[in-house]
Chains A and B, each alone.
Chain A
Amino acid sequence: MKMKPLVWPKIALPWLMLISVVHLTAQSAAPSHAKIQLIAEQTTATAGKPLWIGLLFQLDPGWHVYWQNPGDSGEPPKVQWQLPQGFTAGSILWPQPIRLGTGTVVDYGYESQVLLMAPLTGSTGRATLPSNIAADVKYIVCREMCIPGRTHLTLTPPPNGDWSRWRALFDQTRQLLPKPMPPGWKVSAESDKSSFVLSVRGTSQIRSASFFPLEPDQIDNSSRQAFASNRAGFQLTLKKSDQLVKPISSLQGLIVVAPDRAYEIAAPVISR
């Protein structure tokens, strides 16, 4: 008995090496650059509250997936939930994105890791997480090149059954979800021939900000956004998109003021 642990690896090692070589070869033939898992926050909901499920994307360095408005290229991940009867999933809550690219092609998305979370509601007041949830996910992951992917996911339990691991990811993600605009803010967008001047009044705290449009074809993604603060608040000058052919009544999107702080705005557009 005592000998076994010593002898076994000697015999097994060449085989293990062979297996791992074969495994590595198979992996490098089709690297996906994205590991995606379907996870849940908890197994039982608080009474009257939804359960939360999510798609956890873990990306190789430099690779990214896209926000709901991908910007100039790419497309956001799409999910089709498969839920047992009596359960419904709400829309994905998109954490605040980052700006990707520096040249004339600029995208909005996520690098390294992102959790796309959605509420799951049961028909009973106090829902218990069904084990047979599944998701079909279509996505594209890009670095310099793009690789489309399609995967069928079932629930991945947390490592070692430690639900606090998954819970922590949901909590971290909530910090990155855009918040409603502060109650004291007043927003509007003045439209001239080539740009929108987005004005935020009612704040003196903001030292820098950038705008992420919810809709494509409204602003030119790659143009610099000029920030100017004034006594009433601040202004961002946004170049119009060449694809913007009709006047718009409202400019919707996020004002990002810090890596963990974004506000949802819908600014009425005023023609100048």
Chain B
Amino acid sequence: MTKRFLIPATVALTILFQLSPAWAAKVGDTAPEFTATDTNGNLHKLSDYKGKFVVLEWSNRGCPYTQKHYNSGNMQQLQRQWTERGVIWLTVISSAPGKQGYITGTDENAYVKQVNAAPTAVLLDPTGALGHLYDAKTTPDIFIINPQGTLIYSGAIDDTPTTDVADIGKAKNYVAAALDEATAGKQVTVSTSRPYGCSVKYAD
């Protein structure tokens, strides 16, 4: 069943990708629609989640900045806390084949289990189409979309751009703050920040 949908999805992503330079997602604008495949072969369309908050989290398990937030349990805790409150959390892996962080669905599922991560799903984006659509620069790089489909946050997970686990306790977590405010019906105070981390390992 899923196989059948894979080809149209790829075509759709390719079309969106070609449009992306003019479209690069900007806070305050409608978040660009996408269709992507998760580690279990299921399709996820952004518009399917209308009415819910959606978090997109770019990830690369080989990147020390990503590791900072997974080895400490910080990312898993955010995922768990917000998915329990009905937020859709989509981890995205845009590493191209042959590049650091490229992974198959089966291996990623095992990894999610191993580190006790709790995203709604992990989207595999080896072509980089979704990454380029949102202009994801680093791992991590985080985007939050509100129930109306508007991009309300883009940027770093917190305000301390280091690889040090010890810095997490002192950092201001922008993602938690944005979700706290937005789910309470308030304006997001810090709606954009410079993402920090390793570069996303797109195809050359």
Contacts and interface: CB of A to CB of B under 8 A. Distances in A.
The finding on whether chains A and B are genuine partners in a shared complex, rather than unrelated, reads yes
Interface of A: 72-75, 101, 103-105, 107, 138, 140, 142, 144-148, 216-217, 242-243, 245
Interface of chain A: mostly helix, strand, loop or mixed:
loop
Nearest to B137: A72
A144 B196 contact: no
Contact of A242 (B63, B162, B192): B192
A78 to B, nearest CB: 8
B202 interface: yes
Given A104-B137, A148-B64, A242-B26, 17 more contacts: A72-B138, A72-B199, A73-B196, A73-B199, A74-B198, A75-B161, A101-B199, A103-B204, A104-B135, A104-B202, A144-B99, A144-B100, A216-B194, A242-B27, A242-B154, A243-B193, A243-B194
Given A75-B162, A104-B135, A140-B163, A147 B197 contact: no
Contact of B198 (A103, A146, A242, A245): A146
Contacts of A242: 24, 26-27, 135, 154, 192
Interface residues of B, number: 32
B137 A217 contact: no
Contacts of B64: 140, 146-148
26 contacts: A72-B195, A73-B137, A73-B138, A73-B197, A75-B161, A75-B162, A75-B196, A103-B202, A103-B204, A105-B137, A105-B202, A107-B199, A140-B163, A144-B99, A145-B198, A147-B64, A148-B64, A242-B24, A242-B26, A242-B27, A242-B135, A242-B154, A242-B192, A243-B155, A243-B193, A243-B194
Interface in B148-182: 154-155, 161-164
B132 interface: yes
Given A73-B198, A107-B199, A140-B163, A146 B137 contact: no
Nearest to B203: A103
- Identify the 9 closest CB pairs spanning chains A and B, nearest first: A105-B199, A148-B163, A73-B199, A145-B100, A72-B137, A146-B198, A148-B64, A216-B194, A73-B138
Interface of B is mostly: loop
Interface of B: 24, 26-27, 62-65, 99-100, 132, 135, 137-138, 154-155, 161-164, 191-202, 204
A228 B27 CA distance: 32
Nearest to B62: A145
